[in-house]
Amino acid sequence: MFQNWMQPPAVSSSSEKKSIAPTLRSDVYTAIEQCKVWMSGAAGQVGDGVSYTSVLKTIQKHFAKAKIGLAQTEAEVAVVIGGITNMILEMSKWEALAGGMAMRTWVDTIAKVHAAIPQGTKKDAVVRGIMRGINQNTDYLLLTKDFTARIQIISCLKSLFPKLYGAGSEETRQAEALLSSKLL
């Protein structure tokens, strides 16, 4: 009658220890370079509905559900930014220090590309897409548990906001507060 209580619970196959995908590290840096080319306009235009396909294919190797609906600048940028950020966070689970370094490279790339986009409505849509990608399309459960790397990644992400909105601006404070609320 009580024999089932004495036996250890059955281990399901989903709880088996997984490992890092062998191509994740190289795919992260490939996606960063593809995004830099795409957002700078060297290979198509942001918002044209087709030029993001190369970077999206790289993201879909690791996050198959990443899809872009209508050709809208903000939506395209949000999915790409969120997808690459998720790839970096996934890498940080397995290689914490490498994830932190990749996040620094990613944030610097976003800031440089943003600075190169001429002022106008497209730049505003790109900024909204970046913020949406970081705040809505990024899964922070993928973030490493290693304290030092975790702090490094969070500070890298927070350092992006002043570069987009300007130091001390209301938008910067709101973005930092929103990100902090997601990570508590």
Do 66 and 79 meet the contact criterion of CB atoms below 8 Å apart? yes
Supply the pTM of this predicted model.
0.85
Task: Name the residue range of residue 136's domain.
Answer: 22-183
How many domains are there within the chain? Answer: 1
148 domain-assigned: yes
Distances from the Cα of 78 to the Cα of 8, 52, 74, 84, 183, angstroms? 45, 12, 6, 10, 19
Q: Is 7 among the domain residues? A: no
Structure tokens at 133: 């990608």
Give Cβ neighbours of residue 30 (< 8 Å, ≥ 6 apart).
58
With respect to residue 16, please indicate whether it lies within any of the assigned structural domains.
no
pLDDT digits (tens, 9 = 90+) for 71-128: 688 888 999 999 999 999 999 999 999 999 999 999 999 999 999 888 887 888 899 9
Question: Is residue 4 domain-resident?
Answer: no
